[in-house]
Amino acid sequence: MFKKIGLLAVFIIIALIVFGFVYQDFSVKEVDVGETRFMVPSEYQVQNISNTLVKLTSGGTVYFINEKNSSDIKIFVNKYVNHKNKTENKSVEISHLAYNDSDIYKSVVSDNSSVIHYWFVKNGKGYEIYTGTANSNSDELVLDIINS
């Protein structure tokens, strides 16, 4: 009798654990930055710093999404490059990514590949996503956010 109750209890516990993993929400979160809604992976914690600036964190990885005051993103790319060149004496490599009808500019500072900025236009507004903790998945994550 006790053996049957013990086996039933073990079976129920295992079933609850399996159910929890199967139905765990692996979806995305909606994040509003300025006038645009983005989707970010659910493992990222979202902190609204202002209406136009959001901080995303997951473990030691941190990203910021910032709405700009113009859709002419080349202005912001040039300002960033000039700032790095003149005030910090660093060279910046800019690459242009065309992805799903989006023009995206990506910068990498020559002596620190973990600092990456991405500029793009969405819904008629300019945006920048940047991180100081880039890794091998950064491009994929950012492109997914941009195209959400």
CATH number, domain with residue 116: 3.40.1000.10
Q: Is this structure's pTM higher than 0.75?
A: yes
Per residue in 54-77, pLDDT (tens digit) is 999 999 999 999 999 999 999 999
Q: What is the overall mean pLDDT for the chain? A: 85
Q: Is pLDDT at 23 greater than 50 in this prediction? A: no
Q: At 78, which amino acid appears?
A: N
The beta strands (E) that lie in the chain are given as 28-33, 36-41, 45-50, 53-58, 61-67, 92-99, 102-109, 112-122, 125-131
Q: Give pLDDT, residue 5.
A: 64
Residues 6+ apart with CB under 8 A from 87: none
- pLDDT more than 90, % of the chain: 59
- Number of domains into which the chain is organized: 1
142 in a domain, yes or no?
A: yes
Q: Which residues constitute the domain of residue 131? A: 27-146
6 in a domain, yes or no?
A: no
Closest CA to 135 of 41, 49, 60, 54: 60
**Residue 30 bridge partners (DSSP):** 39
135-140: average pLDDT: 90
